[in-house]
Amino acid sequence: MRIAVTGSSGFIGTALLGVLESAGHEVLRLVRKSPPAGARSVHWDPAAGTIDAAALEGLDAVVHLAGESIAGGRWTAARKRRIRDSRVEGTRLLARTLAGLGKPPRALVCASAVGFYGDRGDEVLTEESPPGTGFFSEVCGAWEAAADPARERGIRVAHLRTSLVLDPQGGALARLLPVFRWGLGAPLGSGLQWWSWVSRADLVGMFRFALENDIAGPINAATPQPVRCSEFTRTIGRVLGRPTWPPVPRAVLRFLAGEMADEALLTSARIDPRRLVGAGFQFRHPSLEPALRQMLHGPRFERSGIS
C-alpha cells in the first residue's frame, strides 16, 4: 500500500515506519518543514491550516499520530490549548482534506488515548464504555470527532485509544528507569489505580493490524492484563533488582505536577482490548513482568548501552 504518516519522527512513528517499510509498503511522511526535492515527504502545517492536498491523491491509507506531548511539565492554560489544538485542529484539517480528494484513501487510522474514559476506578472499560470527565477526556472526544468528515466521505476510520506505552528507548519507561535504578521507585498516590499499558512493539503491531484489516471505530490499544500502579512499580523494581518505597502522597504529586497529576498519574483506567482480541490480534507482550524482562535484559537493550 501507499501510506502517509503524520508524526513520523516521534516515539511511535519512527518504529511504525520501519515496520511498514519492511513489510513492503510505500510510506510518505507528512512533515511541517518543506521537504527537499525528491523526498518521500508531503508538506503540511496544522497550525496554519495548510496541506499539500494534491500529493495525497491516490493513497491507500493514512496514519495520523501527530500531537503535542501531554508529559514534560505543568498544564498551563497555554499548554492545554496546544495539547488540544494540535490534536483536534490537525485531525480536522487532515480529515477535511482527505474527504475532498477525487480519489481518497480507503482508511484513516488515528491515534487517540484511553484518557477518553477519564478516572473510572475498578470499572472494566471496553470500546462501548461512555466517555469520562475532565480535560483529557474532553480532548479525546473532540479529537475523535474531528475525523467525522473522512467518515462521512466513506473512508474507514479507526481510533486507537492508546494506553501507557512501554519501551526503554523512550516514553514513560525511559523516564522511570533512572529513578528505579537509583533505588527511588515508588507507587503514586494510593497505588490502587489501574494502569493499562502496551509495549511499543505491540502498539506498532496494532496500527499495522488496523491498516491491513477491516476494522473501524474505537479500538482499545492496551494489553489484556492491566495492573495496579503499586504492582507496576513493584514489578519494575523486581526486574531491576531495586527496592521500591512507600507511595508518594497525592498532595505531593499535585504540588509538583498540578492538574497533570490528576489526569495522567492518579487516574484509574482498567482497559479491556475487546475488539482487538475478538479480531484475532496476537500480543507479543501480554504480561508485564515477561515484557519488562525482555525489554530490559534482551540483546537490543544491552547493545543500546542501557544496562
Distance of CA 237 to the CA centre of its chain: 25
Cell of 118: 477519564
Please state the separation of Cα 67 from the chain's center in Å: 10
Q: What pLDDT, on a 0 to 100 scale, did the predictor assign at position 81?
A: 93
Query: What's the rounded Cα separation, in Å, for the pair 124 and 110?
Result: 23
Q: What is the CATH number of domain 2-303?
A: 3.40.50.720
Return the pLDDT at 177.
94
Residue 74 and residue 84: Cα distance in Å, rounded? 15
Do residues 226 and 268 touch, judged by C-beta distance below 8 A?
Answer: no
Kindly list the domain boundaries of the chain, sorted by start residue.
2-303
Encode the chain (307 residues) as per-residue pLDDT tens digits. 999 999 998 999 999 999 999 999 999 999 987 665 556 888 999 989 999 999 999 999 999 999 988 876 788 999 999 999 999 999 999 999 999 999 999 999 999 999 999 999 999 999 999 999 999 999 999 999 999 999 999 999 999 999 999 999 998 899 999 999 999 999 999 999 999 999 999 999 999 999 999 999 999 999 999 999 999 999 999 999 999 999 999 999 988 888 888 888 899 999 999 999 999 999 999 999 999 999 998 765 433 333 2
Number of H helices, E strands in the chain: 12, 15
The set of residues, in sequence order, having a beta carbon less than 8 Å from that of 282 and lying 6+ positions away, is none
Q: Measure the CA–CA gap between 26 and 54, rounded to whole angstroms.
A: 17
> What is the rounded end-to-end Cα distance, in angstroms, of the chain?
38
CA distances from residue 254 to 63, 75, 77, 188, 195 in whole angstroms, order as listed: 35, 12, 16, 11, 18
